Structures are given as C-alpha cells and as structure tokens.
Amino acid sequence: MRAATPKPVLVVHGGAWAIPDDYAAAHESGVRKAMEAGFAVLSRGGASIDAVEAAVTVMEDDPTFDAGRGSFLTSDGRVQLDALLMDGGRMKAGGVACVERLRNPIQAARLVLEKSPHVYFVGAGAEEFAHANGMPLIENSELVLDRERERLKQAKQREAAGLADDTFSGLEDDKSPETAVARAAETAEFQSHDTVGAVALDIHGNLAAGTSTGGTLNKTPGRVGDSSLIGCGCYADNLSAAVSLTGWGEPIMKLVLGKWAVDRVAAGTAPDLATREAMSYLFSRLGGRGGIILLGPDGRFGLAHNTPAMAWGVATEKSMETGLSL
C-alpha cells in the first residue's frame, strides 16, 4: 500500500510581545501576506524550504517587523541583521549574522545553505559571500527608518536616566537577584519583539524552518541573539520537527530551546504540548518570555507564547487563519 501524500502546512509568526492595539492590524496583515506567499509555493507542490524563504522574505520587506528594513537599531544607530534557514529533509542549514548591507538576510542564508560547505557566516564575510553569489549590497541607511531612530533615542534617554524599560511589577524597591530576574522578565514581556519566522511541511514530507531578526533595541554592535543560531531560535529535522522562536534571545540561547522542543516531539510529545512546555520551561528556568511555532512531520503543529500577544498564522489546504493571541 502506498503511503498517503502529506498535506502541506505552513505556520508563521511575526513576534511575541504586548502588541499595542494600533499595531495590531499591520501585524495581522503582514503575517497574512507572508502566509499567502509561502502557501502558494506549497500548493503548487513546491519545497518547504522555498515556502519558508518566501514567507520570511515578505515579512523582512514589511517595515512592521523587526527583520530587514525597519528593524531595531544598534546602540550606534545601525541595522544589523541575523537569519537562519534550515532544511530538515537534507539536513542542511545556512545562517548569517550581523549583516548590514543585505536587504533580505534570509535569502543570504539560503545561499549559504545551497552554495557553501560552511553553515554560518558573519559580518563583512557574510555580505561578501552573498554578493559573490548574486545579491546586491545596499547602504545600511536604506534599512533605517525614522521611527526606529526615535525609538532608539527614547531607549537611550531611559538608559541615561537609569531606568530599565517600563517596569510593571511594583517590585522596584526589592533588590534581590530573584526579583531582578522577575523584573527583567516583566520588562521583556512588554518590549517589542517583532522577529519573524516560519515552519513548513511540503507534500514530499519535508520540513523546513526559518527565522530572521534585527535583534533587540539598542543592542551593542556585534551582538547575536538566538534567532539565527541553530537549535536556539530555529531548527528543522524530518526526524523530529521544525521550530522557530521569538522573544528575549539570551535565555532562549542558554536553553537551546528550539532543539529542546523538537527533541520532545521526537520522543513522542504532541507539538501542541511541546510548545506549551517550552514556554513554561523558558520562564521557570530563566524568567524568559517569548513565543514559539512548531510543526511535526505528520502535520500536527503547536503555537504558544508567554507574552501578552503573538502575531501568528496557520495555513493548510482547508483554511488560512491569523491571530494575535492564542
């Protein structure tokens, strides 16, 4: 008896944080456009890696998100981008970090995946590799928006005044390490985290995942977060699952949380439960906040966040749904 052809599935996210009401429509429509682009690839029998690249490219081009043009600025006012793409069928991965002159870092990641014996390039070397393989180099200023210059200015004013970004706990007088962790977590919950990502399953049964980010606001130049690190903010393996995360990168990295979650699926946990467990673990172990999308090789998927909202979308042959919380 022949095995049934897998049904295509695409899940995307556009960041997890307290998305304000006046940003909601832009987030939902950005996620929807990404899904339409990605699912069009899957519907015509295309590969999951192409669907993920297409979906992430749309969100990198959309200034709503912290990816590509419109990303957060470094402390010295530049855009520095990180992205990873992983093909769970071929077990190939390509990543770039700290690139400043590429409009679509996910496409550079694809070039690394396809055309290099290496897996990960950073900075000028990544830009040169992408350029040598056909990508145009742009001025960094083309990626910088006035909105972000203003946002950076405000972050620096808060920093100079000795204020953490907005605190909500009412624990300001308590200086214990435990309280510091709790405060940091609450702060992170309300800071913008608009990293983008996608996971896909194609009719050939192959999984892929991609994540792209401008990182965190006011980051020190050269800082790399979880998003583009294999097994942290992104991972895909047909033998386990495909995953993309967003949120406060440092705790996610320390827990290698993407790999942690897909390994649970490989061990028999349903993706839906694995995502919820991952968010609980992130918070209970390190006070971390974020969001996760996860897709198994049988098409079952999970989405979870421990922030007030997450921009998400799920496309199958039956429906295309988007939302801002679960």
- Alpha-carbon distance 244 to 300, whole Å? 15
* Radius of gyration for the alpha carbons in the chain, expressed in angstroms and rounded: 19
Cβ distance to ligand ASP smaller for residue 195 or 269: 195
Residues 194-223 that bind ligand ASP (CB under 6 A): 194-195, 213, 215-216
- Among the listed residues 50, 60, 62, 66, the single contact to ligand ASP using CB under 6 A: 66
- Alpha-carbon distance 304 to 19, whole Å? 15
By the rule CB under 6 A, 14 interacts with ligand ASP: no
Q: How far is the CB of 72 from ligand ASP (least distance, A)?
A: 8
Cβ distance to ligand ASP smaller for residue 91 or 326: 326
Q: How far is the CB of 82 from ligand ASP (least distance, A)?
A: 7
Burial of 134 from C-beta contacts in 10 A (0-12 / 13-18 / 19+): exposed
Which residues, other chains included, contact 237 with Cβ-Cβ below 8 Å and sequence gap of 6+?
A: 88, 91, 207, 262
Cβ distance to ligand ASP smaller for residue 14 or 89: 14
- Alpha-carbon distance 17 to 132, whole Å? 37
Burial of 181 from C-beta contacts in 10 A (0-12 / 13-18 / 19+): middle
By the rule CB under 6 A, 249 interacts with ligand ASP: yes
By the rule CB under 6 A, 186 interacts with ligand ASP: no
Stretch that binds ligand ASP, among 175-183, 189-197, 268-276, 300-308 (CB under 6 A): 189-197
- Among the listed residues 57, 80, 238, 246, the single contact to ligand ASP using CB under 6 A: 246
- Alpha-carbon distance 219 to 238, whole Å? 34
Is 216 a known active-site residue?
Answer: no
Cβ distance to ligand ASP smaller for residue 41 or 245: 245
Q: Which two tokens stand for residue 198?
A: 């996608």
Residue 317 vs residues 48, 205, 253: alpha-carbon distances, Å: 15, 15, 34
By the rule CB under 6 A, 226 interacts with ligand ASP: yes
Cβ distance to ligand ASP smaller for residue 47 or 282: 282
Cβ distance to ligand ASP smaller for residue 183 or 193: 193
Catalytic residue among 57, 64, 74, 195: 195
Residue 234 vs residues 227, 252, 271, 304: alpha-carbon distances, Å: 6, 11, 15, 15
Q: How far is the CB of 84 from ligand ASP (least distance, A)?
A: 11
Alpha helices, DSSP H, located in the chain: 21-43, 48-61, 105-115, 123-132, 146-160, 177-190, 249-255, 257-266, 271-286
By the rule CB under 6 A, 306 interacts with ligand ASP: no
By the rule CB under 6 A, 269 interacts with ligand ASP: no
Active site residues: 195
- Kindly list the residues in this chain that would bind ligand ASP in the complex (CB under 6 A): 15, 66, 193-195, 213, 215-216, 225-227, 233, 246-247, 249
